[in-house]
Amino acid sequence: MSRDAAEAECIYVASRRREGREDGPPAGSRDDQTTGNAHPVAALVERATDLVEPIKPQLRGWLHAGMVPASLIAGIVLICLARTPQAVVACAVYSVTAWMLFATSAIYHRGTWGPLGEALLRRLDHANIFLIIAGTCTPLAVLLLPPGQRSVLLWIVWAGALAGIAFRVLWVGAPRWLYTPCYLALGWAPVRYLPDFLHAGGAAVLTLIVVGGLLYSAGAVVYALKRPDPSPQWFGFHEVFHALTVAAFTAHYIAISLVTY
Ligand SMILES: [Zn+2]
């Protein structure tokens, strides 16, 4: 079979899977998880899955579209109520990363952009995940940690975020099983600072931070497994993932609000 024919077949298989007509595990999960290496055909299927979107659930993108004005207002409130110049800057960084995340996602998911636009928006969408992780850590580090620890955490999350973005941009075809754990690794990098967050912020703040982290992580697992997929026509696995990100963002926003004003 020629490479073109193989690619065409993979695109067809991927589209059939997306439409729920093809049995078998989600693309990119079987070979990748058992062998640790992407089979060339599996990699093509993964690529084709990225390229082909025969059915977008009707509600794709609406949750994040609703979060665009909500996160803008929430961000402005946070910045206005911050009590020190440092807190203002930290809250502004956090608010901008949040707004970019939801706005890019809403634009990407609600529209039809053609292959080039889709590819560009998808990279931006994924880069924003690294940015929201670093953005969320920024006010927590600034408001809850002493200067030495604050600098270390900010270096870790921002260097990690930039490295993650470079990885996603430079290796555009990276398989889902490889890049999803990168988000989890960066997201849980600040875990050793949790006792400091408890000490400075109290039990409620710590609980909200951990609950938010667990909700984001649950979203990552749903995204990686492509399950549960309650209604491929209306509200599929990707919508479950988006719902979990909204819940996680809300938990973290409350935690940051509690320590900001
Ligand atoms: Zn999405």
Task: Measure 242 CA to ligand 1 centroid, in angstroms.
Answer: 6
Assign 109 to helix, strand or coil: helix
Residue 61, both tokens: 């993108």
One digit per residue, pLDDT tens: the chain, 261 residues?
444 444 445 444 444 444 333 333 333 333 333 344 556 776 776 666 555 555 788 888 999 999 999 999 999 999 999 999 999 999 999 999 999 999 999 999 999 999 999 989 999 999 999 999 999 999 999 999 999 999 999 999 999 999 999 998 888 788 888 889 999 999 999 999 999 999 999 999 999 999 999 999 999 999 999 999 999 899 999 999 999 999 999 999 999 999 999
Task: Measure 108 CA to ligand 1 centroid, in angstroms.
Answer: 8
CA 60 to chain centroid: 15
Check if the beta carbon of residue 260 is closer than 8 Å to that of residue 91. Answer: yes
Task: Measure 150 CA to ligand 1 centroid, in angstroms.
Answer: 31
pLDDT for residue 25: 36
Task: Measure 82 CA to ligand 1 centroid, in angstroms.
Answer: 31
pLDDT for residue 170: 85
Task: Measure 256 CA to ligand 1 centroid, in angstroms.
Answer: 24
pLDDT for residue 12: 44
Task: Measure 87 CA to ligand 1 centroid, in angstroms.
Answer: 30
* Four-residue CA torsion sign, 139, 143, 144, 149: positive
CA–CA gap between residue 196 and residue 140 (Å, rounded): 10
Assign 223 to helix, strand or coil: helix
CA–CA gap between residue 127 and residue 121 (Å, rounded): 10
* DSSP letter for each residue of 86-105: HHHHHHHHHHHHHHHHHHHH
Closest CA to 161 of 179, 191, 134, 137: 134
Q: Kindly state the greatest CA–CA separation across the chain.
A: 66
Residue 140, both tokens: 């927590």
Beta-ladder partners of 231: 235
Task: Measure 105 CA to ligand 1 centroid, in angstroms.
Answer: 6
Closest CA to 108 of 123, 97, 98: 123
Task: Measure 33 CA to ligand 1 centroid, in angstroms.
Answer: 23
Residue 207, both tokens: 């609980």
Task: Measure 109 CA to ligand 1 centroid, in angstroms.
Answer: 7
pLDDT for residue 206: 98
Task: Measure 102 CA to ligand 1 centroid, in angstroms.
Answer: 9
Quote the pTM value. 0.79
Check if the beta carbon of residue 40 is closer than 8 Å to that of residue 54. Answer: no
Task: Measure 83 CA to ligand 1 centroid, in angstroms.
Answer: 34
176-188 helix and 203-225 helix, angle to the nearest 10 degrees: 180
